[in-house]
Structure 1
Amino acid sequence: MRLGLRHRMPTVELAISAPPQAVWDVLVDLQAWPKWGPSVTRAELEVPGPLRLGSRGKVWTPLGVPVPFEISEFTDGRAWAWRVAGVPATRHEVIPTNTGCILSFGVPLWAPPYLGVMAVALPRIARLATRPR
């Protein structure tokens, strides 16, 4: 795991020996979010379908409180970012490598302590992306 700076955001990154598409599939599967996201217990879109730019929905916190979100950046197969309760939140990026990919999570400049939560999520995503189907 490595700390860094990408897109003017503090980041935590993990090299994963899995195809980039397998990692991406975990990132955009709302049913999987509670499996890897320590701060998510449930997520749903207002309009069913794949995650995309402008998608809106709700994410439930461990306190059982639903919070609205909107996807504010989306490059299919590569990156997505969101606003939660109208506030810029995390950015998720899959960077292809010769041996798999690097998964990078960025947080707003005002939220570097949240990198700890992201550091918990990264190996969970790696496990989900590499498990037999």
Structure 2
Amino acid sequence: MPGLQHAVVIAAPPERVWELIADVERWPERIPTVDSVERLDAGPLAVGSRTRLRQPRLSPAVWTVTELTDGTSFTWESKQPGVTVTAVHDVEPHPDGSRLTLGLTVSGPLAGVGWLMTRSLTRRYVETEAASIKAAAEG
């Protein structure tokens, strides 16, 4: 399964980092690779929550939370014909504050072709998301 993982150490407590990563509605204010976020249901993120995300140079995608450990991590999936993208957002304590790990895997019959076409853009977006959350948490 094609994918990537990116981790960054943040000089802020895990609770602060989690607050920023779980508040997906405010991502467009904090993360330049996110144009808009529309929650498709009310309340805090929970398993089954759906969010429409628009990003530059990518088709709008609906992401559905498949796993959530409050205060620590959430995983969501977006399905397009022939491709499922799974993204993990994980926050853990670190001696210098927190470690934020973002992971992304692509599966399905068209995953290989899709990954070849979007790999470098996706890597840049994941690295930018991590750096943006770091800057917001430390700022």
- Give the TM-score taking structure 1 as reference length: 0.79
What is the CA RMSD across the aligned residues, in angstroms? 2.4
Gaps of 5+ in 1: 1-8
Structure 1 stretches of 4+ with a deviation exceeding 6 A read none
Instruction: Flag the structure with higher helix content.
Output: 2
Deviates more, 1:57-66 or 1:92-101: 57-66
What are the within-5 Å matches in structure 2 for residues 1-133 of structure 1?
10-62=4-56, 66-85=60-79, 87-108=84-105, 111=115, 113=120, 114-131=122-139
Please give the secondary structure, in 2, of the residue aligned with 1:89: strand
Q: How many residues align?
A: 124
Of structures 1 and 2, the larger Rg is shown by 2
Whichever residue aligns with residue 62 of structure 2, its letter is: P
5+ long unaligned stretches in structure 2? 107-111
Residue aligning to 1:6? none
Q: CA deviation at 1:64?
A: 8.8
Distance 2:31 2:78 in 1: 14
| Greater mean deviation of Cα atoms: 80-89 or 59-68 | 59-68
